[in-house]
Amino acid sequence: MYSLELLRDFYRTMLRIRLCEEGLIAPIMKSEIRTPCHLYSGEEAIAVGLCASLTDKDYVFGTHRSHGHFLAKGGSMEEMIAEIFCRETGCSRGRGGSMHLVDPKIGFLGAAPIVAGTISLALGAALAACIRKETRIAVVFFGDGATGEGVLYESLNFASLKKLPIIFACENNLYATHMPILECRASPNIYEIAEPFHIKTQALDGNDVLAVYEAGKAAVAQCRNGEGPVFMEFKTYRFRGHVGPDDNIQSKHSDIRPKNEIEQWMKRDPIILFEKYLTEGRLMKAHELKLMREEVEREVAAALDFAKRSPRPSEKELKDHVYR
């Protein structure tokens, strides 16, 4: 059903996201990295599965937690890590840090820390593509916390009205910062919010990369065929703190998530689940997975070294690119 090349690419990309972020933990704890980092560990299957059906011409907009989106869309790991270290060689030339990643060459038009802040931008990009009669589409990732922002509902209405080629991808990790979803919403079923706007909706297991891929292909096809927007809710779970490696370390037990809940979700690690699929289906052997992991570990080590050796932005350019 799937080519071995595609499956290997899924596995490698999920590993690149996970190991890249794990490689940031020590520098964060040592304060070598000063920009706030919202880690994507545990949610890799969503970015990988959905971005697999996109081209460089398609647009992706991210959030404050967008390392995975950037890498899955084809962004340079070296440039991303350099940006996180605020170095001149970063994708935003060291001016943006972790939450302001961008690379127009691959269609990643930006991430932003404002909750729901990129939803209207993606809407505008989809409208522009429609006006220009282009086949490209826009995908906007956002968390469950964005469902409390009015701009999402305004965008859903306009996208439906104009049948815009846009995918609304809600990564529901069950917590808005540290607030459990049932304390934020009357209903836990986020996908239902798009139904009054006559938008096709889906609720999916965000830890199953193949399920995400299949649903993503169908959503992309619908948008390219001019059949209007799609709203996708992905149930998932972040393995690290809201910001930084571990809330318990950084904020003296500010992470209120129950221990047994964390343990249950760790058993549903998307990478472990996919490894099981590959090995039990005799598609890849354990030693092949190990070799791929070692290859990615070397790539991460090289990217970290590149970032640390890269120059910082010049003080003379402090006021450049600042619009007043």
Instruction: Note the pLDDT tens digit of each residue in 217-266.
Output: 999 999 999 999 999 999 999 998 888 887 555 445 456 788 888 889 99
Q: How many domains does the chain have?
A: 1
User: Residue 247: its pLDDT value, please?
Assistant: 59
Q: Which tokens go with 96? A: 């943006």
Tell me if 275 is assigned to some domain: no
Residue 136 maps to a domain: yes
Q: State the first-to-last Cα distance of the chain, in angstroms, to the nearest integer.
A: 55
Q: Would 192 be classed as within a structural domain?
A: yes
SS3 sequence of 268-295: CCHHHHHHHHHHHCCCCCHHHHHHHHHH
In a domain, 59, yes or no: yes
**Which residue do the tokens 């930006």 mark?**
110
Instruction: Identify the domain containing residue 105 by its residue range.
Output: 4-268+291-314
Q: Using one digit for the tens of pLDDT, what is the confidence trace for 36-56? A: 999 999 999 999 999 999 999
Q: What is residue 324's predicted lDDT score, i.e. its pLDDT?
A: 64
CATH of residue 106? 3.40.50.970
Would you say 10 and 274 are in contact if contact means Cβ atoms under 8 Å apart? yes
The residue written with tokens 């011409």 in the block is 57
The pLDDT of residue 250: 47
pLDDT number for residue 254:
55
**Residue 155: inside a domain, yes or no?**
yes
Low-confidence residues of the chain: pLDDT under 50 = 250-251, 253
Instruction: Using DSSP, state whether 301 is helix, strand or coil.
Output: helix
- Residue 274 within any structural domain of the chain: no
Question: What type of residue is 275?
Answer: E
Q: Is residue 280 assigned to a domain?
A: no
d(CA 184, CA 158): 25
3-class SS string, 129-163: HHHCCCCCCEEEEEEHHHHHCHHHHHHHHHHHHHC
The pLDDT value given to residue 111: 95
Query: Residue 230 is inside which H or E element, if any?
Result: strand 230-235
- pLDDT of the residue at 196: 96
